[in-house]
Structure 1
Amino acid sequence: MATQSIIRNAGLTSFVMVAFAANSLLCREALASGSIGAASFTVVRIASGALFLWLLVVVRQRQFQVAGDWISSAALFAYAAGFSFAYLTLSAGSGALLLFGAVQITMIAYGLWSGERLNTKQVEGALLAAAGLVWLVLPGVEAPSALGAVLMTAAGAGWGIYSLRGRGAREPTSATAGNFIRCVPFALILFLAANGREESWSAAGVAYAIASGAIASGLGYALWYAVLPALRATTAATVLLSVPVIAALGGVLLLEEALTLRFAGASLAVLGGLLLFILNTQRGRA
């Protein structure tokens, strides 16, 4: 039974990491191919995620009460909108690395602001990760779009705030469902504002957005919350480091994106720095 449980948790964790990375791949392909506009992708993604999570909670609990709150929903919307518009110009790998790095740095900054003290190894890890992000966006032939980098960094900050506000939720799936539902009006306003630019729509683009919202986001989050109690905090944080790597490999294999030397070096710095920080977090608390 113990072996089966380990295999089950490993399989679910692997699926979730691929699902999280798939968000970047689906969004980038949908926008790069012109199948759908950024605002349209956002509203379909949010709405389909809200519907999936609402159905999941109703089936599991036989009832539904809107959990979450409006501030968390606003942070979720900032993430989703910034994510979509950033992928108009960023590659899947660069976007995922910027997003993940911004999320972690936001949470580290909040810890410092709250009075947490870092040990020497944590400081070294945080500085290395920040240096990697700076290196990635420095001007040059291989640098990502400046506007895209700013938007994805803002999206990462939004997701970091959302994660911080959601820590300790008794029913994380219910809270996520409620926040997705509250996020729909924000996404509709964005869509109506962008509709004046006559964004393109196609069946393929809508399918990408639904897959991102219902499967990669809704199902991915639900399974992550299900397997999270079985993982140590350091293990959970460490496996999340695989998401930008999976997104980058997917971009190369599926979207024919180039893997540049700058991106490879920045990835080693960012992910290595974050790994150093994570591995020394529990040690520092002890």
Structure 2
Amino acid sequence: MVQLRVFVLTALAMIAFAGNSLLCRAALRDTDIDAASFTSVRLVSGALMLWLLLALRGNRQPLRYGSWGSAVALFAYAATFSFAYGGVSAAMGALLLFGAVQATMIGIGIWHGNRPNGVQWAGFVVAFTGLIGLLLPGLSAPPVGSAVLMILAGVSWGIYSLRAKGAGEPTAVTTGNFIRSVPLALVLSTAMLSRMEMDAAGFLYAVASGAITSGMGYAIWYMALPLLRATSAATVQLSVPVIAALGGVLLLNEPLTLRLVVAGAAILGGIAIVILAGNRKPA
């Protein structure tokens, strides 16, 4: 029963994370909402949902948790994520995002003295080759600006994840950070007021992204996380771009190009090699 619970919670969390990509891409492609408004509605909705979940557990002081530094990283992730999805497919965006997240976390680990072994260096080369292949000019290459924004979103989320590690009870910390990110999002929307657009469908997509696939998704993930080994927790997240790709094809009628499949396999495979080799016990 424990294994089934772990599987169900983990699967739901990964679907929720992929759902963020699908909802944002659908909103910015198919509705009139602008990226800044999507960011603001998403963060406000996420903050409200997380506050409600925390309150139901008897904790009504979320600002005791989290920090402004983490809130800035969270806001930077959410904003660049939204603006990037104006130009890339759900699958492409999720691949760039999670590749950048893992690369950031691994890179910071190296900076702090965790030296890669030979197998890990080989994984780095495979992943970097895949990224170059993905971004090379061609009919199926993503727009450079959108690709750079999504990579920045991944870097921001990687930094946020590392800052949140060991910062206290995860759901409470995430709630405090979401609440602190709301003023930053409102400043962004105010600065972009002249370009503000909104319709009911776009608003609902943003609410779903914030309340369900972000707020509830993170809460579910933090329920599963203590039950997973560190290696499993890192590698299972590599399933998100695959889920997003399938969702993009089935729900958004997005093409699944050969370049994306080959480059994605190289990027995710290379990162998996780095993670697994880093956790291998010496003989």
Tell me which interval the TM-score lies in, with the shorter structure as reference length. over 0.9
- Identity, % of aligned pairs? 59
1:237 aligns with 2:234: yes
Corresponding residue for 1:271? 268
Within 5 Å, give how 1:1-286 maps onto structure 2.
4-66=1-63, 67-197=65-195, 199-283=196-280
C-alpha distance after superposition, 1:198-237 (max 9, x if no partner): x221111111001100110010111111111111111111
Structure 2: where are the runs of 5+ without partners? none
Give the partner amino acid of 2:176.
G
The answer to whether the 8 Å contact 2:95/2:241 transfers is: yes
Q: Give the TM-score normalised by structure 1.
A: 0.96
Query: How far is the alpha carbon of 1:34 from its aligned partner?
Result: 2.8
Q: Distance in 2 between matches of 1:21 and 1:165?
A: 22
Q: Distance in 1 between matches of 2:132 and 2:32?
A: 32
Q: In the superposition, relative to structure 1, how do residues 224 and 285 fare at CA in structure 2: closer, same or farther (>3 Å)?
A: farther
Query: How far is the alpha carbon of 1:115 from its aligned partner?
Result: 1.2
**Post-superposition, which runs of at least 4 consecutive aligned residues in structure 1 deviate over 6 A?**
none
Q: In the superposition, relative to structure 1, how do residues 147 and 284 fare at CA in structure 2: closer, same or farther (>3 Å)?
A: farther
Q: Distance in 2 between matches of 1:285 and 1:37?
A: 51
C-alpha distance after superposition, 1:31-60 (max 9, x if no partner): 001331100000000000000101111111
The answer to whether the 8 Å contact 2:46/2:214 transfers is: yes
Indicate the larger mover: 161-170 or 21-30. 161-170
Q: Distance in 1 between matches of 2:212 and 2:125?
A: 35
Indicate the larger mover: 130-139 or 142-151. 130-139
Q: Give me the CA root mean square deviation.
A: 1.2
Query: How far is the alpha carbon of 1:285 from its aligned partner?
Result: 7.4
C-alpha distance after superposition, 1:95-128 (max 9, x if no partner): 0000001111111111111111111111111221
The answer to whether the 8 Å contact 1:34/1:200 transfers is: no
**1:200 counterpart SS class:** coil
Q: In the superposition, relative to structure 1, how do residues 226 and 285 fare at CA in structure 2: closer, same or farther (>3 Å)?
A: farther
Q: Distance in 2 between matches of 1:165 and 1:133?
A: 26
Q: Distance in 1 between matches of 2:112 and 2:225?
A: 25
Give the partner amino acid of 1:218.
G
Q: Distance in 1 between matches of 2:93 and 2:259?
A: 14
Q: Give the TM-score normalised by structure 2.
A: 0.97
